[in-house]
């Protein structure tokens, strides 16, 4: 199957390398015919082009692989590829979480596949395992560490007792955090991945902007010390659960017990767990990012398409998030009315009574410097 690759950065160049290496060893069922790049100075081989029409209008190209990132023009290019009857594989969670409902419908109408393994959990085969579990079970819930940048910062703060800003600078210097880290540290990256996991686990399309999100921007050494004293680590978790037709999901820093599933997940690794009836709890862990691990996941999707793997089609329903679920939280730097406080930790920190996500948002949104951490029941 001939492939058009969009983007030749960290992930795209990894995809090109894996496929070219496979072809060098033996005649693989995939071959990259054209590579879309942005700048003239990236046109280093004959396959490269700066014109998307060289891929979309080429009848020999049956599969388009999008590794450009960002919403536009990635969304328009994917839309055009699907409309032209080409299969699409993407690693782009932001684009797919934002336009998933429309793009999956377009893929269905045109009888082509739209796969997105690498967009959640990088190299971890999370989507593939969800597909396998769902051949037998319904997924009851999932939760996980979906973001390597924040896990790196939290792990190092925990191990070394340092402050957030210091660890962010180190994460940036190692290439684990972007120059503008807002999507990661404010939890939006995990919201995109949580939305896509809801799609794969429950066939629910949820607008990532509807997911209640709290990030780790304001975490301090003091919060880590509180966690340590009480036998916990702090991890940023994305969660989803569907029960009796009601969808609950959230992104929130949580106190997790030391010795539990998530506390020992190190540095930039990811770990995601699911619960289903006959399999019970299953945990998937590995490299959530990086050129070759992520490209590996992209190429697995490409091989599934090229070899005609039996990938079940599910009909997707737009769902809204139920905000009535109650959580107990540790809140620092926010004035919380006394009726919502169950315990005063110190002058600027309280533990709340169980509060709905809606109430919690009302109390904490727009409060500068606030830190919210879920206390697991
Ligand atoms: N990096 C990871 O470990 C990882 C893991 C999982 C998922 N992902 C996802 O994979 C996607 C790609 O990430 P990445 O890390 O590979 O990003 P990247 O290194 O910035 O690569 C993206 C490439 O696409 C190019 N590009 C952007 N707009 C283009 C256009 N209009 N035409 C042609 N080329 C264009 C960029 O060129 P310029 O640099 O010139 O703009 C860049 O070379 C993102 O959606 C990301 O979220 C990444």
Statement: residue 314 has pLDDT above 90? no
List, for residues 255-270, the tens digit of each pLDDT value.
Answer: 999 999 999 999 889 9
CB 68 within 8 A of CB 52: no
List, for residues 17-53, the tens digit of each pLDDT value.
Answer: 999 999 999 878 999 999 999 999 999 999 999 999 9
Q: Best substitution site from 9, 54, 70, 183 to test ligand 1's pocket, by max atoms within 8 Å of Cβ?
A: 9
Return d(Cα 344, Cα 353) in angstroms, integer. 11
| Gap from CA of 74 to ligand 1 centroid (Å) | 10
Question: Which atom of ligand 1 is found nearest the CA of 7?
Answer: 24
CB of 287 sitting under 6 A from ligand 1:
no
Where do we find the tokens 């799609």?
199
CA separation, residue 317 to residues 12, 204, 206 (Å): 31, 5, 9
- pLDDT of the residue at 117: 96
CATH class, range 135-287? alpha beta
Sort 90 into a burial class: Cβ within 10 Å, 0-12 / 13-18 / 19+. Answer: buried
- The model's pTM: 0.95
* Catalytic-role residue among 86, 93, 113, 193: 193
- pLDDT of the residue at 140: 97
Statement: residue 377 has pLDDT above 70? no
Domain boundaries, the chain: 2-119, 135-287, 323-377
CB 11 within 8 A of CB 67: yes
CB proximity list for 229: less than 8 A, separation 6 or greater: none
Question: Which atom of ligand 1 is found nearest the CA of 291?
Answer: 3
List, for residues 75-127, the tens digit of each pLDDT value.
Answer: 999 999 999 999 999 999 999 999 999 999 999 999 999 999 999 999 899 99
- pLDDT of the residue at 247: 95
- Please tell me the residue having the least CA distance from ligand 1 atom 6: 122
- Please tell me the residue having the least CA distance from ligand 1 atom 32: 38
CATH topology of domain 2-119: Rossmann fold (3.40.50)
CB of 234 sitting under 6 A from ligand 1:
no
- Please tell me the residue having the least CA distance from ligand 1 atom 10: 91
């Amino acid at each position: 199957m001939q492939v058009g690759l969009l983007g030749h950065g960290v992930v795209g160049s990894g995809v090109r390398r894996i496929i070219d290496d496979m072809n060098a060893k033996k005649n693989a069922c995939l071959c990259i015919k054209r590579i879309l790049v942005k700048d003239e100075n990236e046109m280093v081989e004959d396959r490269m082009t700066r014109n998307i029409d060289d891929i979309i209008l080429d009848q020999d190209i049956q599969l388009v692989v999008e590794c450009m990132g960002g919403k536009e023009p990635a969304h328009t290019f994917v839309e055009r590829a699907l409309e032209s009857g080409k299969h699409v594989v993407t690693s782009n969670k932001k684009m797919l979480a934002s336009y998933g409902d429309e793009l999956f419908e377009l893929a269905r109408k045109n009888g082509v596949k739209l796969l997105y393994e690498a967009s959640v959990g990088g190299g971890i085969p999370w989507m593939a395992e969800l597909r396998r579990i769902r051949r037998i079970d319904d997924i009851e819930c999932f939760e996980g560490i979906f973001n390597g940048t924040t896990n790196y910062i939290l792990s190092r703060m925990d191990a070394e007792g340092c402050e957030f800003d210091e660890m962010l600078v180190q994460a940036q210097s190692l290439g684990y955090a972007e120059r503008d880290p807002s999507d990661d540290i404010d939890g939006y990256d995990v919201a995109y991945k949580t939305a896509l996991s809801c799609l794969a686990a429950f066939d629910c399309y949820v607008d990532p902007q509807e997911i209640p999100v709290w990030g780790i921007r304001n975490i301090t050494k003091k919060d880590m010390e509180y966690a340590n004293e009480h036998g916990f680590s702090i991890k940023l978790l994305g969660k989803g659960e569907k029960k009796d037709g009601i969808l609950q999901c959230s992104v929130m820093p949580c106190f997790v017990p030391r010795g539990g599933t998530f506390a020992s997940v190190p540095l930039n690794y990811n770990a995601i767990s699911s619960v289903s009836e006959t399999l019970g709890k299953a945990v998937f862990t590995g490299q959530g990012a990086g050129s070759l691990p992520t490209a590996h996941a992209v190429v697995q999707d490409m091989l599934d398409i090229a070899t005609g793997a039996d990938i079940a089609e599910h009909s997707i329903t737009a769902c809204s998030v139920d905000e009535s679920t109650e959580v107990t939280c540790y809140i620092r730097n926010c004035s919380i009315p006394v009726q919502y406080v169950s315990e005063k930790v110190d002058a600027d920190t309280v533990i709340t009574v169980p509060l709905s996500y809606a109430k919690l948002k009302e109390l904490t949104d727009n409060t500068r410097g606030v830190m919210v951490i879920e206390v697991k029941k």
